[in-house]
Amino acid sequence: MAVHGLRHESWNVTLPAVAAADIARDRLALEALAGHPVEGSAYPCGGHSKGPAADAALRALGIVHARVVASRDDFAVPADFLDWNPTMHHSRSDAADLARRFLGAADAPAAEPSLFYVWGHSYEFRTGEDWAAMDALCALFGGRDDVWPATNVEICRYVLAFRALRGTLDGRILENPTAVPLWLRAGGRDLLLPPGGSVAMS
């Protein structure tokens, strides 16, 4: 669930206070429906709503991630979650090839985590073929214990918790100051670092 603007107008072509009010009213309405915090956004009008004023309003109103629409064709975790480019739109004809490339990278040892992010709109699924293509794409990821099917906010919270890790200067001890359990790989073994816990890396 994500803030998208009550009026679906670009936040970049109006007064900053008007954009902030639109974001705030949308978040309040969504939270009243959902019964939980709504911390995400998808920029209305794609990336055309993105800009310094919009980003400042999102941050001030507690939004921690916001998606644009320009696909990157890669599997990078965003450096700034308020500038979150997806991997691909669901309608790509080579979606299965891109997914297999991602899964091949997941099978290989990697220093960096990888992220496969598909975006789209439900109204774009106009035929049974559209749904069948999405089912086939999702089936490629099914039954694997090395792929985490997660929501935007779950990914954002996990990565931000990982970035908050503290450690000794020699890198031998890591501490997790967050409330999120984190998995680490060190010396060929997987380690669970619980909230508030520490681990020796050697």
User: How many structural domains are present in the chain?
Assistant: 2
- Gap between the Cα atoms of 147 and 151, Å rounded: 13
- What type of residue is 101? R
> Residues 110, 174: one domain?
no
DSSP E strands in the chain: the ranges are 40-42, 65-67, 88-89, 118-119, 166-167, 173-175, 182-186, 189-193, 198-200
Residue 106 pLDDT: 61
Do the domain assignments include residue 9? no
> Residues 62, 129: one domain?
yes
How many CA atoms are closer than 13 Å to the CA of 141, on its beta-carbon side?
Answer: 19
Residue 37 has pLDDT above 80, yes or no: yes
Note the pTM of the prediction, 2 decimals: 0.87
Residue 158 has pLDDT above 70, yes or no: yes
> Residues 97, 180: one domain?
no
| Residue among 16, 2, 4 at smallest CA distance from 51 | 16
Residue 98 has pLDDT above 90, yes or no: yes
How many CA atoms are closer than 13 Å to the CA of 71, on its beta-carbon side?
Answer: 14
- Gap between the Cα atoms of 43 and 13, Å rounded: 13
Do the domain assignments include residue 10? no
**For the chain, what percent of residues have pLDDT higher than 70?**
97
> Residues 85, 182: one domain?
no
> Residues 188, 112: one domain?
no
> Residues 173, 124: one domain?
no
* Stretch among 16-25, 47-56, 70-79 having the lowest mean pLDDT: 47-56
Where does the pLDDT of residue 109 fall: very low under 50, low under 70, confident under 90, or very high at 90 and above? Answer: low
| DSSP 8-state assignment for residue 46 | G
Where does the pLDDT of residue 193 fall: very low under 50, low under 70, confident under 90, or very high at 90 and above? Answer: very high
> Residues 71, 141: one domain?
yes
- Gap between the Cα atoms of 22 and 10, Å rounded: 10
Cβ atoms within 10 Å of 86's Cβ, excluding its own: 20
Do the domain assignments include residue 1? no
> Residues 174, 141: one domain?
no
> Residues 38, 66: one domain?
yes
Q: Mean pLDDT over all residues of the chain?
A: 90
Residue 108 pLDDT: 62
- Gap between the Cα atoms of 102 and 97, Å rounded: 9
* Domain range for 123: 16-152
> Residues 178, 132: one domain?
no
> Residues 103, 172: one domain?
no
> Residues 121, 196: one domain?
no
**For the chain, what percent of residues have pLDDT higher than 90?**
61
pLDDT tens figures, 110-146: 667 889 999 998 889 888 888 999 999 999 998 888 8
Do the domain assignments include residue 43? yes
- What backbone phi and psi angles, to 5 degrees, belong to 186? -145, 130
- Gap between the Cα atoms of 176 and 162, Å rounded: 8
